[in-house]
Amino acid sequence: MKKVLVINASARGLRSQSRKLTEIFVEHWKSIYTHPQITYRELGSTEVPHVNEDWIAAAFKPEESRSETEKQSLKLSDTYIAELQDADIIVLASPMYNWSIPSALKAYIDQIVRVNKTFLFDASKMEYPYSGLLKNKVLYLLLSRGDQGYEKGGYNEHMNFQDPYLKTVFNVMGINQIRTISINGISYGPKKTQKPIELSHQELIEMIDLEVAQQ
C-alpha cells in the first residue's frame, strides 16, 4: 500500500481552507484503505528553523568531513528528507501569503532541497544542471487563496508565486507527477465561496478515486 505524507503549512487551525483539503484527503483515503499508512508533518503551527552558517557549511561537504556541530545542524533536515523519501504520496497544503507561500513552508523547503540528498547538481549541464533524487512519488498540492484569477491566463497570473514556485522546487527534486487543487477567492466571503469550496472538495475526491483506480 502507498504511504502518504501530509504536510500542513497554514498558520490557521480550524478556519483553514487548505487544512480542510488535507482532512478531506485523509478522510477519503481512510474510507478506501482499512489500514492506511499516513504520516503528518506540521509546519504552520511549529517553528521551522532557518538554515544557518553551520547548516550551509555541513550541507555542501561530504558527510565524513562534517564536525559534530555541523552534523547536528542537519539533523532536522535529515528527518524531513527521510519522511519524503519514505512517502509514495505527498499531500502538501499551502495558503497563498503575499502572493507566495508561508515563510514556514519556505524555511522547510530550504531544509529539504539538499545537494546529493534530494537532487544532484552537474555543473557541465549549464542549461539544467539538476537531477532529482526523489523518485516515483506523486505530489498533491492543495492550495487556498484570498483572491482569484491566479490560474494560467488569469488576470492575476503575474502575481502568482505560489504554485509555479512549488512546482519548480519539487520538479528539481524529481517529483513531476503533481496534482493541483485550489480554492480561490476566500476573501470574497462565504456567500460567493461556498459553492467553489464544495466543488474543490468534490474534485479532490474524484482525483483520489482516479489515483486509486490507476494503482
Report if residue 17 touches ligand FMN, rule: CB under 6 A: yes
| Of 145, 175, 201, 208, the one binding ligand FMN by CB under 6 A | 145
Secondary structure, 3-state, 54-77: HHHHHHCCCHHHCCHHHHHHCHHH
Q: Is 139 helix (H, G, I), strand (E, B) or coil?
A: strand
Report if residue 130 touches ligand FMN, rule: CB under 6 A: no
Question: Least distance to ligand FMN from the beta carbon of 82, Å?
Answer: 26
Question: Least distance to ligand FMN from the beta carbon of 9, Å?
Answer: 8
Report if residue 45 touches ligand FMN, rule: CB under 6 A: no
Question: Least distance to ligand FMN from the beta carbon of 12, Å?
Answer: 4
The binding track of 149-188 with respect to ligand FMN, each residue x by CB under 6 A or -, is: -------------------------------------x--
| Of 146, 149, 174, 196, the one binding ligand FMN by CB under 6 A | 146
- Spell out the residues 6+ positions from residue 177 whose beta carbon is closer than 8 angstroms to its own: 137, 138, 139
Q: Give the DSSP per-residue string, 88-132.
A: SEEEEEEE-BTTB--HHHHHHHHHH--BTTTEEE-TT-SS--EEE
Q: Is the distance from CB of 200 to CB of 181 less than 8 angstroms?
A: yes
| Of 12, 66, 167, 179, the one binding ligand FMN by CB under 6 A | 12
How many angstroms separate the CA atoms of 36 and 71, rounded? 33
Residue closer to ligand FMN by CB (options 156, 171) is 156
Stretch that binds ligand FMN, among 11-19, 32-40, 76-84, 204-212 (CB under 6 A): 11-19
Q: Is the distance from CB of 137 to CB of 88 less than 8 angstroms?
A: yes
Report if residue 18 touches ligand FMN, rule: CB under 6 A: yes
Question: Least distance to ligand FMN from the beta carbon of 170, Å?
Answer: 19
86-106 burial code (b ≥16 CB/10 A, e <16)? ebebbbbbbbbbeebbbebbb
Q: Is 164 helix (H, G, I), strand (E, B) or coil?
A: helix
Contacting positions for ligand FMN (CB under 6 A): 10, 12, 16-19, 95-99, 144-147, 186
